[in-house]
Amino acid sequence: MALLRTVGRIGVDAILPPRCGGCGVITETTHAVCADCWAGLRFISAPQCACCGYPFELDDSANIIGGEGVDGRTLCGTCLQKKPAFDCARAALVYDDHSRDYLLRFKHADRTDLTPLLARWLYQCGQGIWDQADLIAPVPLHRRRLLYRRYNQSGLLATKLSKMTGVPWDGLVLGRQRNTRSLGGLGPSSRKREVGGAFAINERRAAQCGLDGARVVLIDDVLTTGATANACARILKQSGALHVSVITVARVVR
Ligand SMILES: [Zn+2]
Ligand SMILES: [Zn+2]
């Protein structure tokens, strides 16, 4: 069977050469992007806020001045002012025209073949988080949106990341009890209102996957104001989660 699979893979590769996950030109390796596309992507790296992951190097406006939190970690001004409900957020990329392009194709254009590429980026930006994690949970889509889109892109990433890290994942422990409007175009307070009460914990699943005392990694596509991540982290903690990290493909940097 394994041999058959190998032969099958060689056959497919011979017919379909690996293509760039960005522009589609033929590349040497599978699940990669070409040099041009790579150059267009802005990966986030240290120094960054120890809590929300805000990259300090991009802060040319100087309107966010970091400082030391009570635990001695370097935090951005926003987190210093009010600590989010999640403990830590990391994103692979700055949300801009390039990263939005990948996410739109992944979400709306049936480009599920981008999963391994995006999962690798998430894996890398979650260094230091995976080895302590107990559970991976994707931010859920409402049933209606799931029917329309046919797959939850965060669920695909969670499955892949679970395979890469050995950390179990559960796509049902965190559910949506109410469909939210699209958050695009809404300000921070409207977003907060819109997602408030939108999520619910499936207590039976929570017991099964040992949510009580667990260190949870939430997976989502974009961190915008953090309203969704906060709402999810809050109810996960109400149901016993000890620590909640959020890992997204991209994050808005203002
Ligand atoms: Zn390319
Ligand atoms: Zn921060």
pLDDT exceeds 70 at position 19: yes
Report the distance separating Cα 17 and Cα 136, nearest Å: 32
Residue 128 is part of which domain span? 90-179+189-251
pLDDT exceeds 90 at position 233: yes
Q: Is residue 12 domain-shared with residue 118, that is, in the same domain? A: no
C-alpha 54 to ligand 2 mean position (Å): 5
C-alpha 7 to ligand 1 mean position (Å): 28
Q: Domain for residue 30, yes or no?
A: yes
Q: What's the pLDDT tens digit per position in 164-195?
A: 999 999 999 998 876 666 667 777 777 777 77
Name residues whose C-beta falls within 8 Å of residue 76's C-beta, 6 or more positions apart in sequence: 49, 51, 52, 54, 56, 64, 66
Q: What's the pLDDT tens digit per position in 94-147?
A: 999 999 988 888 887 778 888 999 999 999 999 999 999 999 999 987 655 655
**What's the length of the chain?**
254
C-alpha 52 to ligand 2 mean position (Å): 4
pLDDT class of 2 with cuts at 50, 70, 90: low
CA distance from start to end of the chain:
52
Q: Domain for residue 216, yes or no?
A: yes
Report the distance separating Cα 169 and Cα 151, nearest Å: 16
Q: Is residue 146 domain-shared with residue 240, that is, in the same domain? A: yes
pLDDT exceeds 80 at position 246: yes
Q: Domain for residue 198, yes or no?
A: yes
Q: Domain for residue 201, yes or no?
A: yes
| pLDDT attached to residue 6 | 52
Percent of the chain past pLDDT 70, that is, above it, reads 81
| pLDDT attached to residue 209 | 93
Domain count across the chain: 2
Q: Is residue 194 domain-shared with residue 100, that is, in the same domain? A: yes
Q: Produce one character per residue of 130-143: b if its CB has 16 or more CB atoms within 10 Å, e if not.
A: beebbbbbbbbbee
Q: Residues whose CB is under 5 A from ligand 1 (ion)?
A: 20, 22-23, 34, 37
Ligand nearest to the CA of 251: 2
Report the distance separating Cα 152 and Cα 206, nearest Å: 20
| pLDDT attached to residue 32 | 85
| pLDDT attached to residue 220 | 94
Ligand nearest to the CA of 102: 1
C-alpha 157 to ligand 1 mean position (Å): 21
Q: What's the pLDDT tens digit per position in 31-64?
A: 888 899 999 999 999 899 999 999 987 555 544 5
Ligand nearest to the CA of 49: 2
From residue 187, how far is each of 2, 85, 165, 182 by CA, in Å? 52, 19, 36, 12
Residue type, 51: C
What value does the mean pLDDT of the chain take? 85
Provide the CATH number for the domain around residue 200.
3.40.50.2020
C-alpha 51 to ligand 2 mean position (Å): 5
Q: Domain for residue 229, yes or no?
A: yes
Ligand nearest to the CA of 66: 2
Q: Is residue 17 domain-shared with residue 95, that is, in the same domain? A: no
Ligand nearest to the CA of 23: 1
C-alpha 78 to ligand 2 mean position (Å): 6
Ligand nearest to the CA of 79: 2
pLDDT exceeds 90 at position 160: yes
Report the distance separating Cα 110 and Cα 85, nearest Å: 33
Q: Is residue 115 domain-shared with residue 235, that is, in the same domain? A: yes
Q: Is residue 14 domain-shared with residue 98, that is, in the same domain? A: no
The least confident of 65-74, 104-113, 230-239 is 65-74
C-alpha 242 to ligand 2 mean position (Å): 20
Ligand nearest to the CA of 84: 2
Q: Is residue 36 domain-shared with residue 99, that is, in the same domain? A: no
Residue that the structure tokens 């915008």 belong to = 224
Q: Is residue 210 domain-shared with residue 98, that is, in the same domain? A: yes
C-alpha 37 to ligand 1 mean position (Å): 4
| pLDDT attached to residue 188 | 75
Q: What is the DSSP track for the chain?
A: -HHHHHHHHHHHHHHS--B-TTT--B-SSSS---HHHHHH--B--SSB-TTT--BGGG--S--S--EE-TTS-EE-HHHHHS--SSSEEEEEEE-SHHHHHHHHHHHHS--GGGHHHHHHHHHHHTTTTGGG-SEEEEPPPPHHHHHHHSS-HHHHHHHHHHHHH---B-SSSEEESSPPPP-TT--HHHHHHHHTT-EEE-HHHHHHTT-TT-EEEEEEEEESSSHHHHHHHHHHHHTT-SEEEEEEEEE---
Ligand nearest to the CA of 56: 2
| pLDDT attached to residue 62 | 43
Report the distance separating Cα 244 and Cα 65, nearest Å: 25
